[in-house]
Chains A and B, each alone.
Chain A
């Protein structure tokens, strides 16, 4: 029962353009969502988060949008830079419990 899904395994975008990464979830009990970024041979690092009571959170070039009715969230990176080339994971957190609900990741390639 995969409660968080990233249906696009990869994304290629030109430098300077917008990267849009998508994440769908099935459990309405999540109260927080997080995005992580992972470079090869390293552990993921936390990137940005959003509370379920909000529909947008922005941090520099990164913006996360949450559409609760569609159970969908997206991460926008604009403008995309070659250093953004990495694998991105989304995660849903419930207030109670410690079970992981982690998406399968989307590999982003930003072409110079």
Chain B
């Protein structure tokens, strides 16, 4: 089945550091990928929709200068948390769907636990 690989799985770093998270679709072309954030004991919050070859579409309230999304190829999207601060600590998850196949489910990565000290 379709697999989405997310890396790294865990990051611990100092405040002010920029952190890059990668999301790869391993066996299908993902023209669109999605980035979510999950706070403890809360639901998934969609942050942005990443479109291959064009700018990401951010949800209301998400700072595009803070969370930089790049989708340079059909199999790779990256999320960079710039100048991270403790309040950015969270669980980030990406997903991808093969829109060329009708009614496909989202395939999720395993998530990245980001801890900013």
Residues of A at the B interface (CB closer than 8 Å) are 31-32, 34, 36, 38, 41-46, 49, 51, 87, 89, 91, 93, 95, 98-100, 102, 104-105
Contacts and interface: CB of A to CB of B under 8 A. Distances in A.
B67 interface: no
B46 interface: yes
A109 to B, nearest CB: 12
A62 to B, nearest CB: 14
A98 B102 CA distance: 11
B88 to A, nearest CB: 18
Contacts, number: 56
Contacts of A98: 31-32, 49, 97, 99
Contacts of A93: 103
B110 A43 contact: yes
29 contacts: A31-B103, A34-B105, A36-B106, A41-B91, A41-B113, A42-B110, A42-B111, A43-B6, A43-B94, A43-B95, A43-B109, A44-B93, A44-B106, A46-B105, A46-B106, A49-B103, A51-B103, A87-B43, A89-B43, A89-B44, A91-B106, A93-B103, A95-B102, A98-B32, A100-B34, A100-B46, A100-B49, A104-B43, A105-B43
Contacts of B94: 43
A36 B49 contact: no
Which size bracket describes the interface of B in this complex? 20 to 34
Interface of B: 4, 6, 31-32, 34, 43-44, 46, 49, 91, 93-95, 97, 99, 102-103, 105-111, 113
Nearest to B103: A32
Interface residues of A: mostly helix, strand, loop or mixed?
strand
Contacts of A100: 34, 46, 49
A43 B32 contact: no
Given A98-B97, A102-B44, A45 B108 contact: yes
Nearest to B57: A99
Nearest to B10: A41
Given A32-B103, A98-B99, A44 B46 contact: no
B44 A105 contact: yes
B55 to A, nearest CB: 15
